[in-house]
Amino acid sequence: MPELPEVETTRRKIEPLLRGRVIASVEHDAPHKYRDTHLAVGRRVQGLSRRGKYLMLQLASADAAEDDLHDLEFIVHLGMTGGFRLDSGPHTRVTLTLEPDGAGDSQQLFFHDPRRFGKMAVVRPGEYAGMPTLAAMGPEPLSEDFIEGDFVRLAREAGAVKPWLLSQKPVSGVGNIYADESLWQAQIHPAQTRLTAAEGQRLYTAIREVMAQAVDAGGSSLGNGVGNYRQHDGLSGLFQHEHHVYGRAGQPCPRCGTDIVKTVLAQRGTHFCPKCQVFEERPRS
DNA sequence: ACAAGATCCTGAACGC
DNA sequence: TGCGTTCAGGATCTTG
């Protein structure tokens, strides 16, 4: 469920609750999904960062100064349905308890994850063996590391463009919703292979624009389904109101009025405009 | 090397 | 109302 905009929104919202606090306990079952969390106990959260759809809490010793380097990373992946909440509930999978800070701030944060696809692990900084997607993560779409020329060059050799984006290798953080939205904006068919330079440039720009707008809107919250993304305080994102194709099968394309089509590509629901996004056969030469 | 499929899970929505 | 089927925003491992 959560893609870059939802994970970034989560980061911004929970960082003030965690920064500077010492972790008193991390309680959960299913240790294979939440690895080495005991290493976080007694450590201070120096800050929260994000890579693609992964959140990482920087941990240092409890007596570390504010600007000391962290020596552990507490990595969180929200999976399809994970999110942090201020209250526990039937789908609470992990309970994070903080040492009192004397300011009366909340002492617990609950990781809620109905489908249990979320994962956590405490590792030494940068040690991402066992997390191949994170280890091979492409550049952040909203950073200076995301370079148009590099992206266009890679896209010329790529297979079907949507699965290629979902691999997280050409660029990080793009999931099913934002892949469909970016491809619609760039007017490229989701199954198109071997993008032209013009297509690659349009897609590069579209990804940056769509991601920036979605982050500004606090991400997308969809329907009432099990995977409905919510912020820790129960608030919804607003970007679902800006969707042009995702979840709009049978409704008119905002650009040309043709009915939006939904198909399945790489086992993912895929929405596009059959008139604006035309597939062209481009065999490997 | 790459693509396609199966797998991990649960619950909401839909059809009969 | 009740039951079975289908579907869901992701990552990863196996198979071809």
Q: How far apart are CA A127 and CA A251, in angstroms?
A: 46
- What does pLDDT average to over chain A? 93
CATH (residue range A148-272):
1.10.8.50
Name the strands in the sheet holding A54-61, side by side, starting at the edge strand that comes first in the sequence. Answer: A34-35, A119-123, A72-77, A54-61, A43-51
A202 is catalytic: no
* Amino acid at the residue A132: P
Q: Which of residues 255-284 of A touch strand C (CB under 7 A)?
A: 264, 267-269
Residue A186: which of A244, A252, A116 has the closest Cα?
A244
More confident residue, A226 or A271: A271
A132 is catalytic: no
Q: Quickly list H helices, A157-280.
A: 161-166, 176-186, 197-216
* Amino acid at the residue A134: L
CATH (residue range A4-135):
3.20.190.10
Instruction: Identify the pLDDT of residue A1.
Output: 63
Q: Where in chain A is the domain with CATH 3.20.190.10?
A: 4-135
Q: Tens digit of pLDDT for each residue in A155-211?
A: 999 999 999 999 999 999 999 999 999 999 999 999 999 999 999 999 999 999 999
**pLDDT band at A234, cuts 50/70/90?**
confident
**pLDDT band at A104, cuts 50/70/90?**
confident
Catalytic residue (one of A43, A53, A162, A202): A53
Q: Tens digit of pLDDT for each residue in A67-85?
A: 778 899 999 999 999 999 9
Q: Where in chain A is the domain with CATH 1.10.8.50?
A: 148-272
Instruction: Identify the pLDDT of residue A233.
Output: 84
Res A129 pLDDT > 60 = yes
**A283 CB contacts (<8 Å, ≥6 apart)?**
none
